[in-house]
Amino acid sequence: MQQPLLVMQGVSKSFPGVKALTNVDIRLRRGEIHALMGQNGAGKSTLIKVLTGVYEMDSGQVELNGRPVSIQSPKDAQALGISTVYQEVNLCPNLSVAENLLIGRQPRRPNQAIDWRLLNHRAEELLERLHIQLDVTKPLSEFSVAIQQMVAIARAVDISSGLLILDEPTSSLDQREVQELFRIMRKLRDEGMAIVFVTHFMDQVYEVSDRITVLRNGELVGEYLTAELPRIQLISSMIGREWKDEPHTGKSSDQGASEVWLSASGLGRTGGVEPFDMTIRKGEVLGLAGLLGSGRTEIAKLLFGIDRADQGAITINHEVMRSMFPSKAIEHGMAFCPEERKVEGIVGELSVRENIVLALQAKRGFLRFLPLRKQQEIAEHYKKLLGIKASSIEQRMDQLSGGNQQKAILARWLATEPKLLILDEPTRGIDVGSKAEIRKLIMSLAAQGMTIVMITSEWEEMVGCCDRIMVLRDRQVIGELSGDDIREQRIMEIIAEGGERDEQLQQQVG
Amino acid sequence: MKLPLKINSSNITILATIVLFICLFAVGSIFFTGFFAPQVFLNLFVDNAYLIIVATGMAFVIITGGIDLSVAAMIALVSVLSAELLKAGVPPVAVIFGVLVLGIIFGFLQGYVICKFHIHPWIVTLGGMFLARGVSFLISTESIVIDNPVYRTISNAKIPLIGSSTISVSVIIALVTVAAAIYVSRYTAFGRNVYAIGGNERSASLMGLPVMTTKVAVYTLSGFTSALGGIVFTFYMLSGYGLHLMGGEMDAIAACVIGGILLTGGFGYLLGPMLGVLSTGVIQTIIMFQGSLSSWWTKIVIGFLLFAFIVLQRVIVSRKERRPVSQKLKRNRTQKTEIPV
Amino acid sequence: GCGGQTPAPAAAPAAPATTKEAPAPTDNKKLVVGFSQIGAESGWRGAETASIQETAKNDPTIELKFSDAQQKQENQIKAIRTFIAQKVDVIAMAPVVETGWEAVLTEAKNAKIPVILVDRNIDKKNEDLYTTFIGSDFVLEGQNAAKAMVEHLGGKGNIVELEGTVGASAAVDRKKGFDDEIKKHPDIKIVKSQSGDFNRATGKQVMEAILKSPEGKNIQGVYAHNDDMALGAIQAIEEAGKKPGSDIKIVSIDGIKEAFEAIKAGKLNTVVECNPLLGPQLFQAAKDLKAGKQLDKWIKSNEEVFSGQKAIDALPNRKY
Amino acid sequence: MNSYSSRWGELTRSKLFWPSVGLLLLMVFNFFFTPGFFEISIQNGHLYGSLIDILNRGTPLIIIALGMTLVIAKEGIDISVGSILAIAASLAAYLMQQHVPFGLALLAGLAAGLLCGLWNGYLVARLKIQPMIATLILLTVGRGIAQLISGGQIITISNPAYRFVGGGYVLGIPFAVILAAVLFILLYLLMRRTALGLFLESVGANRVSSAYAGIHSTRIMTLVYVISGFCAALAGIIISSNITGADSNNAGLWIELDAILAVVIGGTSMRGGRFYLGGTVLGALFIQALSTTIYTLGVPPESVMVVKAVVVIAVSLMQSDAFRSMFRNGLRSRTRKKVLAHEAAS
Ligand SMILES: Nc1ncnc2c1ncn2[C@@H]1O[C@H](COP(=O)(O)OP(=O)(O)OP(=O)(O)O)[C@@H](O)[C@H]1O
Ligand SMILES: Nc1ncnc2c1ncn2[C@@H]1O[C@H](COP(=O)(O)OP(=O)(O)OP(=O)(O)O)[C@@H](O)[C@H]1O
Ligand SMILES: [Mg+2]
Ligand SMILES: [Mg+2]
């Protein structure tokens, strides 16, 4: 048998109070896509960080090509041909896209000066391979997380020369981008590279991976060939008990009668979304569908007052509002679970408890202080309800695994008991088991009368949950679906048609 | 490919600073006789050459998100040390070389302690500041005259420019420093790493950039420029004195900030510090030409002008930031909208 | 308070001019004097500034260009450059430090503008770069203080020296003059010497600490480089339950009004005057220069040593 | 053994631990090298001794550092405290000289501090000027205003009530110390018994997230500068009262550096976020104790700076986990503890 490219043996890693990895083995072979699976907090990211020298392991060995290596830093890892996309996008927001792609190995002129022209050109080429076109001289911060993630992937792909590690690269990508990524991954695999792939999407695992390693609570469960491992069994081995694939719970279907809770007329922002109208009824689940950068997040931010609308007005419960800002929105019973959890969601330095009570406390005002006892109660309640895996509610937020951070943010907003809950990619990075739980929770909240606006790139999830769907394209609302029309196929059609209509429009104008 | 003159969000501060500088100079010229003269303008460089050098070095530190409070004290130390060594008969070349090495070592040590032990640069360099001043007092509490002929020649050398106006050797050194800094920041890997670290240190490290080395290098560089600034300052003063430039580090920081360098790191052009120095310099010149302010009104007016300058700068910059971006965005993201089915 | 809001009138009687009234400049153009002041670090300097500004204001033949250097030599150099650019008739300055003036004063010399130094001198090597120096001798002040101290102690005792800001020329010279003089008296020992930064709060704090140190428990005299520190020290001594002025003799320099009041109250023994009211002398010198007179290299300001009844008598006339 | 070492670990991780150790070491040093340092007697009916001096002289620094702690927690900095202090003292003294009643003058001084803080807050929170440069403006202007008020002279204070603020004693304890204690308790309650502390830490750690959670970050930011201004004003009144004179030229010069140092020694990170009021008090006391020690010991004036530098660097090294672990591992083996700089520092 061919010698594996990389072998990790007996890897253990513990943080104060947590044993993140216990005696884990993994072997990665050339020409293979290897999925690393496990629940939130199982230790996947930690394993990757240990491998790439971000953390020092407590014990264990790494062998590359049969020779023991000691990787002390991401720099060492890169030098050994290991390139990584970490779970949270790790790029420099102030640098241009091109630089982010090529920093550390910029093309030089003969006199050793950085050749900017060539650099930008190369960057464009790199992105072209992923079928992305954008102005690479713009700072990265001007682009959405999705684009940032694509840039990170493009960078890693370009650097990699033996092993490529992708920690939840697809969490904020839409299907089309995912396909692009898979195409590249397959190509690299066929060229003989080893690829580690972490995701919580079962479909994707079965679509691209050849082999699966499952972790549970920091321990190795086993290594399987993808083809030989049925889905149910995979999930069961991840969660450590039998798993029944429950059918989606039916959605509340009595929305027609309920009254309008919020409506927006002609709401828009120059440079953001084109003016649009929308009505949201009490107790309904409204979906915003669209491709990356279609303006879904923008709409949510306008509704919640994070971006100021420069035209139009919002009416909540018949009360017209000219301006909106977060604390006002919260006061009126809105809640917004943002997309970029690292920047907009978590307060890393604070504890899980403080993160959870933050919005509720802000809503109450600083004087009506929640006593510690009460805070603990709330935090413990949601920790249990959402299955947040943390050593205690006093653990620092940034020490939680990605999925658990996401759950804590969700908890923060649920704690405010909102009337309208806006969820922007709420299940990003959340494992299969929890995802189903959360979906169930959302549905039951809606059934109890909570209104929900949901943005998700998983159309299946959207179709499964929503009573009504607004479709966006190029920052315009271009259609609406409800009732039986809600099908993935229809969404795609509308987006595609909208495209034609737009082109026709442009032709007429031009 | 792209004209450097294109106004965008990153160089707008620089442009605003230049515009405001010209306005201030114009105001001075209108109100005071003798103000509108080449020499008055050149004196801004002559009198501030050392500050330009120091601020430029400090800018690298600030761009990484750090700070160096020891620069002014370092200048004082260099001046005292130079004076004392020259008095002892050490050849000038050796003195210059020696203090430069001292600056490099000093900066390196500060950087090493900051990075290795993860202590905030404010504290470490504050310690450095006390240390440098303290050592210069230990060497001599009195001010020492430098009458070394080489130093005096350099100090008195006047390089004629337009008409009868002249600049000093120090100005050349300062301009070369600025030019070198601009080049380094833009065209070397080190320079780009500095920006990356300022943007997000953790990301930079995960991207495999040599974060620790770069940070240490940046403090070393600042140590070097403050020693160089010290030499230039010594030429300027021809004296060594432990109390020289008390509070000068604030001037350097202010120059950086006025020149558009963000103290939180990651943003700014290396031309900025020089513009910042010139701007505060012209404010001071106006005050001096005015010539009837009492001591306290001097402070108030300087502060007020500084305030007006910064506010105007912000107004210009935020105007620009608020411009609609829709058109540009459309061009940015012309993604094909075919759907994989 | 000595009425800081109403600065001393121009022709202060306490500040006699050393040269006779000279005729006003022949042409009716005003005599333009550029004065570069160090800053406003103390009441003493404030009084000096006020004296100069008021004198100029009350003299129609004079136009004063005043520039405050905020304690920075660089600013003083810039100010002098500016004066040269403005083509003033006379440049006057109170140099913040002795050294570092060669370049800029040479420029002034080349521009044929005479330079007058006020209250502090510059390095002897550069004597040819200024025309005259008006002011006092810090070393001499230190010596005078020492003599007074010796007298108060009867030639025997332990003393504490409160120094000014480390490195400041006033501190360096006042220490030198004092210490050298004290050395002549073997029974007098300076047991502690610490910087009080020329200000009252630090002076008090330092004295407090010293009084609690083993040496500090047996001291008979305190010498402060300026009045402010002495006033702070007096408070510290009182709080320690001792009597300033009798248990512990106190000598200080400057002669601000509060110091005289302290003498009157018996808490301070001697103050060596260092006169800040130099305005009249300065402009007299400037006019003399313009009239082509030859000036002494050093015009001493009129200064005395005050103790006891002499101080009490002088109190009503103190201007600052 | 294991539980012992884990409890030890917990203790050393407490933010109050290292400043306490620093202070303790200084005290131990004094115990051996400064005879009489620990003597406390009764003099004129009040406590008297070096330790009392440290408390008494330390109060202005403690008060300012408390305000500074909040500003730094918000990821800001306030270098104008020295000037605010001078304004407040000069204004109060000037008004009393003009025969304004004591209470009114005192209020005016404090109000001036609040106003200065409001100004700083406005520049930073509304105009979004970088904190250091925003407060640099007031650093310059404020000193000028103070001198303008006093005419550059020291205004002597004769009002006995005013003198009591910084020089009086209650039951033998300096009144200023009681004031500082009250302020500490008030701030502590304000921060820890209302949600302000939580909001402040949240804004300091991640401003965007906090705004999304509905916290008015501009209000919080303004508030901390106002508190800092108030603290500075109070410190100014205490200092001027103590020396019975408002010195607009020198009062509070460079105190911002000491205050920031105290905050950092006290365990609050200059990157904002978590703050420790208790730690700040310890830090300020440490700095004051160092000064008092230096004065009592008779360190030659020209070496004072060097001594301070060495102690400051030593204390911050002691606080550094990386430094200590280097020692520990150096004794055992050469297994380097490797954590990314970012994480260890935070
Ligand atoms: N720096 C840290 N300090 C303390 N605990 C940590 C730290 N980083 C991770 N952990 C803990 O280690 C465990 C494993 O986390 P890890 O991030 O590896 O999970 P994961 O499998 O990647 O989960 P997810 O799917 O949610 O990303 C978690 O319980 C987490 O709380
Ligand atoms: N102020 C701005 N300047 C430049 N670009 C901006 C600005 N605001 C938003 N954008 C860009 O416009 C797009 C906004 O899309 P938005 O985030 O609303 O889309 P979305 O449908 O939510 O897509 P995603 O799945 O990426 O979240 C993003 O690509 C973002 O980079
Ligand atoms: Mg993970
Ligand atoms: Mg989005």
- pLDDT tens sequence across B45-97: 999 999 999 999 999 999 999 999 999 999 999 999 999 999 999 999 999 99
Find the closest chain D residue to B243 by CA distance. D302
Find the closest chain D residue to C234 by CA distance. D243
The pLDDT of A400-419, averaged and rounded, is: 93
Q: Count Cα neighbours of C117 within 13 Å in the Cβ-side half-sphere.
A: 28
Q: What is the pLDDT of residue C124?
A: 81
- pLDDT tens sequence across C14-53: 334 444 444 444 456 789 999 999 988 888 888 899 999 9
Using pLDDT thresholds of 50, 70 and 90, give the confidence band for residue A63. Answer: very high
Cross-chain Cβ contact B209/A103 below 8 Å = yes
Query: Which residues does D334 contact at the CB level (< 8 Å), separation at least 6?
Result: none
Which alpha helices (H) appear in A320-431, and where do they start and end?
326-331, 352-364, 372-386, 402-415
Residue D338 has pLDDT above 60, yes or no: no
Calpha distance D199→B320 (Å, rounded): 32
Residues of D in contact with B130 (CB under 8 A): 305-306, 308-309, 312
Does residue A433 have its Cβ closer than 6 Å to ligand 1?
A: no
Using pLDDT thresholds of 50, 70 and 90, give the confidence band for residue B198. Answer: very high
Does residue A20 have its Cβ closer than 6 Å to ligand 1?
A: yes
Q: Which ligand is nearest to the CA of D340?
A: 1
Strand partners, C36: C67, C93
Residues of B in contact with A270 (CB under 8 A): 324, 326
Calpha distance B254→B59 (Å, rounded): 11
Cross-chain Cβ contact D152/C2 below 8 Å = no
Closest residue (by CA) to atom 14 of ligand 2? Answer: A293
Using pLDDT thresholds of 50, 70 and 90, give the confidence band for residue D311. Answer: very high
Domain ranges of chain D: 48-298, 304-346
Q: What is the pLDDT of residue D95?
A: 95
| Best of C68, C77, C129, C179 to mutate (most B CBs within 10 Å, chain B) | C68
Q: CA angle C11-C15-C17, nearest 5°?
A: 85
- β-pair type (A6-15, A59-64): antiparallel
Q: Which ligand is nearest to the CA of B330?
A: 2
Residue B339 has pLDDT above 50, yes or no: no
Calpha distance B200→A90 (Å, rounded): 8
Residue A1 has pLDDT above 70, yes or no: no
Using pLDDT thresholds of 50, 70 and 90, give the confidence band for residue A96. Answer: very high
Q: CA angle C199-C204-C205, nearest 5°?
A: 105
Structure tokens at B71: 């620069």
- pLDDT tens sequence across A206-235: 999 999 999 999 999 999 999 999 988 999
Q: What is the pLDDT of residue B13?
A: 84
Q: What is the pLDDT of residue A252?
A: 52
Cβ atoms of B214 and A92 within 8 Å: the answer is no
The pLDDT of D24-34, averaged and rounded, is: 90
Q: What is the pLDDT of residue C111?
A: 92
Q: What is the pLDDT of residue D172?
A: 87
B5 found inside a domain: no
User: First-to-last CA distance in chain D?
Assistant: 29
Calpha distance C284→D65 (Å, rounded): 51
Residue with tokens 């769907």: A469
The pLDDT of A366-379, averaged and rounded, is: 93
Calpha distance A337→C83 (Å, rounded): 64
Neighbours of chain C (3+ CB pairs under 8 A): B, D
Residue A191 has pLDDT above 80, yes or no: yes
Calpha distance B214→B196 (Å, rounded): 10
B279 found inside a domain: yes
- pLDDT tens sequence across C160-181: 999 999 988 889 999 999 999 9
The answer to whether A and D touch (≥3 CB pairs < 8 Å) is: yes
Q: Which ligand is nearest to the CA of A87?
A: 3
Residues of B in contact with D134 (CB under 8 A): 310
User: First-to-last CA distance in chain B?
Assistant: 39
Q: What is the whole-number distance in angstroms between the Cα of residue A410 and the centre of ligand 2? A: 22
Calpha distance A264→A285 (Å, rounded): 16
Cross-chain Cβ contact D154/C228 below 8 Å = yes
Residues of B in contact with D317 (CB under 8 A): 113, 117, 119
Calpha distance C301→C306 (Å, rounded): 16
Other beta carbons less than 10 A from residue D92's beta carbon: 33
Q: What percentage of chain C has pLDDT greater than the value 90?
A: 59
Cβ atoms of B115 and B215 within 8 Å: the answer is yes
Find the closest chain D residue to A307 by CA distance. D212
Q: What is the whole-number distance in angstroms between the Cα of residue A296 and the centre of ligand 2? A: 8
Closest residue (by CA) to atom 29 of ligand 1? Answer: A41
Using pLDDT thresholds of 50, 70 and 90, give the confidence band for residue A257. Answer: low
Using pLDDT thresholds of 50, 70 and 90, give the confidence band for residue B321. Answer: low
Calpha distance D269→C105 (Å, rounded): 48
The pLDDT of B243-269, averaged and rounded, is: 91
Find the closest chain D residue to C319 by CA distance. D153
Q: What is the pLDDT of residue C42?
A: 84
Q: CA angle A488-A491-A495, nearest 5°?
A: 145
B4 found inside a domain: no
B87 found inside a domain: yes
Calpha distance D88→D152 (Å, rounded): 14
Cross-chain Cβ contact A293/B210 below 8 Å = no
Query: Which residues does B236 contact at the CB level (< 8 Å), separation at least 6?
Result: B47, B49, B50, B155, B168, B170, C74, C77, C100, C103
- What's the number of domains chain B is made of? 1
Cross-chain Cβ contact A369/D209 below 8 Å = no
Domain interval for residue B42? 12-334
Q: Which ligand is nearest to the CA of A294?
A: 2
A385 near D CB under 8 A: no
Sign of CA dihedral D218, D219, D224, D229: positive
Residue D197 has pLDDT above 90, yes or no: yes
Residue with tokens 């549970």: A216
Q: What 8-state DSSP symbol labels residue A119?
A: H
3-state secondary structure of A222: strand
Residues of B in contact with C70 (CB under 8 A): 295, 298-299
Query: Which residues does C174 contact at the CB level (< 8 Å), separation at least 6?
Result: C138, C139, C141, C142, C145, C164, C225, C253
- pLDDT tens sequence across C113-156: 999 999 888 888 888 899 999 988 899 999 999 999 999 999 89
Using alpha carbons, select from A60, A7, A9 the residue that is nearest to residue A30: A7
Q: What is the pLDDT of residue B9?
A: 61
- pLDDT tens sequence across C72-117: 888 999 899 889 988 899 999 999 888 889 888 998 999 999 999 9
Query: Which residues does A351 contact at the CB level (< 8 Å), separation at least 6?
Result: A393, A394, A395, A396, A397
Using pLDDT thresholds of 50, 70 and 90, give the confidence band for residue B341. Answer: very low
Find the closest chain C residue to B243 by CA distance. C167
- pLDDT tens sequence across B269-286: 999 999 999 999 999 899
Q: Which ligand is nearest to the CA of A299?
A: 2
Cβ atoms of A26 and A213 within 8 Å: the answer is yes
Protein fold of D48-298: ABC transporter involved in vitamin B12 uptake, BtuC (1.10.3470)
Q: How far is C36 from chain D (nearest CA, A)?
A: 17
Q: What percentage of chain B has pLDDT greater than the value 70?
A: 91
Please identify among residues 321-380 of chain A the ones whose CB lies closer than 8 Å to any CB of chain D: 326-327, 329-331, 336, 338, 343-350, 354, 357-359, 361-370
Calpha distance C205→C218 (Å, rounded): 18
Residue A433 has pLDDT above 50, yes or no: yes
Q: What is the pLDDT of residue C23?
A: 44
Q: What is the pLDDT of residue A323?
A: 84
C71 near B CB under 8 A: yes
Q: What is the pLDDT of residue A499?
A: 52
Query: Which residues does D306 contact at the CB level (< 8 Å), separation at least 6?
Result: B130, B131, B134, B135, B137, B138
Query: Which residues does D12 contact at the CB level (< 8 Å), separation at least 6?
Result: D18
Partner residue facing B208 (CB), from A74, A93, A142: A74
Residue C246 has pLDDT above 80, yes or no: yes
**Which ligand 2 atom lies nearest to the CA of residue A174?**
25
Residue A105 CB-density burial (10 A; 0-12 exposed, 13-18 middle, 19+ buried): middle
Partner residue facing D298 (CB), from C42, C46, C192: C192
The pLDDT of C54-69, averaged and rounded, is: 91
Query: Which residues does A506 contact at the CB level (< 8 Å), separation at least 6?
Result: none
Residues of B in contact with C126 (CB under 8 A): 145
Find the closest chain C residue to B153 by CA distance. C103
Partner residue facing D155 (CB), from C4, C41, C208: C4
Q: What is the pLDDT of residue A507?
A: 47
Q: Return the percent helix, strand and coil in chain D, to nearest 5.
A: 70, 5, 25
Residue B25 has pLDDT above 90, yes or no: yes
The pLDDT of B115-123, averaged and rounded, is: 92
Calpha distance D345→B117 (Å, rounded): 8
Calpha distance D298→C214 (Å, rounded): 11
- pLDDT tens sequence across B220-234: 999 999 999 999 999
Residue with tokens 């009040």: D46
Residue C2 has pLDDT above 60, yes or no: no
Please identify among residues 239-268 of chain B the ones whose CB lies closer than 8 Å to any CB of chain D: 250, 253-254, 257-258, 262-264
The pLDDT of C192-203, averaged and rounded, is: 93
Does residue A144 have its Cβ closer than 6 Å to ligand 2?
A: yes
Cβ atoms of B214 and B89 within 8 Å: the answer is no
Residues of A in contact with D205 (CB under 8 A): 347-350
Using pLDDT thresholds of 50, 70 and 90, give the confidence band for residue B295. Answer: confident
Using pLDDT thresholds of 50, 70 and 90, give the confidence band for residue D1. Answer: very low
Calpha distance B121→B61 (Å, rounded): 10
Higher pLDDT, residue A130 or C95:
C95
Cross-chain Cβ contact A74/B187 below 8 Å = no
Cross-chain Cβ contact A134/B326 below 8 Å = no
Q: What is the pLDDT of residue B340?
A: 36
Query: Which residues does C263 contact at the CB level (< 8 Å), separation at least 6?
Result: C269, C270, C271, C306, C307, C308, C311, C312
Residues of C in contact with B33 (CB under 8 A): 86
Q: What is the pLDDT of residue D15?
A: 79
Calpha distance B227→A81 (Å, rounded): 41
**CATH number of the domain residue B102 falls in:** 1.10.3470
